[in-house]
Amino acid sequence: MTSHIFNTVPEVIVALADYVVAITNESINDRGQCNVALSGGSSPELLYKMLASPGYKDRIPWSKINFFFGDERNVPKDDAQNNANMVRRVMFGPLNITESNIFAVNTSLAPDEAAKDYTDRINNHFKGKEIVFDLMLLGLGDNSHTASLFPHTSILNDQSISVQSVFLKEQNVHRISMTAGMINLSRHIAFLVYGQSKAEAVHHVLEDEPNINEYPAQLIKVDSNDVHWFLDSAAASQLKNV
């Protein structure tokens, strides 16, 4: 695991954008295409806008990238809270990404059906071979969740390589999420975390003793050199071993 700590949020976004450029081009050069799983929520919107900006849009051959989502909210595809909808607005649209390269969760289905459908589509894309995403982008909630791996939910103990539905009792909502097993098959994993509100969670995940039910992001293979954490100084402020 490697931490990259910067003083300001813009510096974090630029560093991660440069990392995305490097990894996607490396994957395309090595394998002819790149499979990227995107994170949702508010934090990565700045990254997606940066990648679609004049300084970055011509540095990646976008037609050779297939886009997936690590998780999705169980809301209509045109809902403001829909992760794919947000990315379409700030990145896919400006970059003219073709629909055949976008693998969004079909939230018109019931949660369990949507999860099975997404699992099947991912398996079909990889043609029955091992599911290995070239780049997995993740965020971190202030309760130490990543993707939709929330504390004390059944998906944390799911050993399958699949997508599952997750019911959050506190919020009375369903989500659809890749399991930790699927996420961990990625060649490269990058966490984007910034803001003082995330500092305690960053400390718990990276420095506390393992406690998966309390700190689900510990399920991601943080002892691997393939995992990179892009942090601002506020999010890293409670780390002791940096």
Q: What is the pLDDT of residues 115-138, one digit of tens each?
A: 999 999 999 999 988 999 999 999
φ, ψ for residue 93, nearest 5 deg: -65, -55
Name, in order, each residue with C-beta under 8 angstroms of 162's C-beta and a sequence gap of 6 or more: 115, 119, 178, 179, 181, 182
Structure tokens at 74: 């169980």
Q: Position 109: which residue type?
A: L
* pLDDT digit string (tens) for the chain, length 242 residues: 899 999 999 999 999 999 999 999 999 999 999 999 999 988 999 999 999 999 999 999 999 999 999 999 999 999 999 999 999 999 999 999 999 999 999 999 999 999 999 999 999 999 988 999 999 999 999 999 999 999 999 999 999 999 999 999 888 889 999 999 999 999 999 999 999 999 999 999 999 999 999 999 999 986 777 999 999 999 999 999 87
Around Cβ 129, how many Cβ atoms within 10 Å?
8
Is 142 within the bounds of a domain? yes
- For the chain, the straight-line distance linking the first and the last C-alpha, in angstroms and rounded, comes to 12
Q: Give how many domains the chain has, as a whole number.
A: 1
Read off the tokens for 204: 């718990």
pLDDT tens sequence across 19-36: 999 999 999 999 999 999
Which residue range(s) make up the domain with 57? Answer: 2-232
pTM: 0.96
Asked if residue 240 is part of any domain, the answer here is: no
- Alpha-carbon distance of 38 to 3, in angstroms, equals 20
CATH at 156: 3.40.50.1360
- Note whether residue 237 is domain-resident: no
- Asked if residue 241 belongs to a domain, the reply is no
